[in-house]
C-alpha cells in the first residue's frame, strides 16, 4: 500500500502505480492550446495512457492563469477543471476527486473568487480537517463547518 492510500490522501481509483506529476504550465497548455508545440506535447501526455497526478495547488494556479492571463470565464474554468480531474487517467494527488468536483460545482454559480475557496474546502474535507479555521465567513457557502479563531 502506498503512502497516499495509507494516509487517506489522494484518489483511490485502481490503476498502475506510476504517476507522472503535472504542473500548472502543462495543464494550461493542454487547456488553452497555445503555444501549439507545447500544447500538442501536453495533449499527448494528458490524453495518453500514463497516470497523471495533479495537485490542488496546480489546479488553483491553473484557474488563476486561465482567468487573469487568458480571460476565460469562471464558469468555463470550473467546467474545464472538472473535466480534467474526471479523466480516467488523472488523479488529484492531495484531495478526493469526488469531493473536489462537488465543491467546484457549487463554485460554478457563485460570485467573487470561489474557485480557490472550493479547492481549499475540498482538500479540507478530504483530509477530514473540519471545522475549517478561517476569517472568511463566505466559506460556509460550501456547506463546511467553519471556526473563526
Q: What is the pTM of this model?
A: 0.82
Q: How many domains does the chain have?
A: 1
Structural domain containing residue 106:
3-147
Residue 113: partners with Cβ closer than 8 Å, 6 or more residues away: none
**What would you measure as the largest C-alpha separation in the chain, in angstroms?**
48
Task: Identify which has the larger pLDDT, 112 or 36.
Answer: 36
pLDDT at 148 > cutoff 50: yes
Place of cell 495518453: 48
The whole-chain average pLDDT of the chain stands at 89
Q: How many CB atoms lie within 10 A of CB 34?
A: 11
pLDDT at 2 > cutoff 60: no
| pLDDT tens readout for residues 35-79 | 999 999 999 999 999 999 999 999 999 999 999 999 999 999 999
CA–CA gap between residue 97 and residue 11 (Å, rounded): 6
Instruction: Give the CATH number of the domain where residue 54 resides.
Output: 3.40.50
Amino acid at each position: 500500500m502506498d503512502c497516499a492510500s495509507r494516509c487517506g490522501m489522494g484518489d483511490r481509483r485502481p490503476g498502475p502505480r506510476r504517476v507522472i506529476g503535472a504542473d500548472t504550465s502543462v495543464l494550461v497548455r493542454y487547456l488553452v492550446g497555445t503555444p501549439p508545440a507545447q500544447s500538442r506535447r501536453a495533449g499527448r501526455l494528458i490524453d495518453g495512457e500514463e497516470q497523471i497526478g495533479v495537485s490542488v495547488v496546480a489546479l488553483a494556479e491553473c484557474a488563476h492563469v486561465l482567468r487573469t492571463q487568458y480571460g476565460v470565464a469562471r464558469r468555463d474554468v470550473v467546467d474545464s477543471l472538472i473535466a480534467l480531474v474526471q479523466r480516467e487517467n488523472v488523479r488529484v494527488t492531495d484531495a478526493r476527486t469526488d469531493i473536489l468536483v462537488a465543491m467546484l460545482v457549487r463554485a460554478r454559480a457563485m460570485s467573487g473568487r470561489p474557485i480557490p475557496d472550493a479547492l481549499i474546502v475540498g482538500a479540507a474535507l478530504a483530509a477530514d480537517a473540519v471545522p475549517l479555521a478561517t476569517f472568511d465567513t463566505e466559506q460556509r457557502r460550501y456547506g463546511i463547518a467553519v471556526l473563526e479563531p
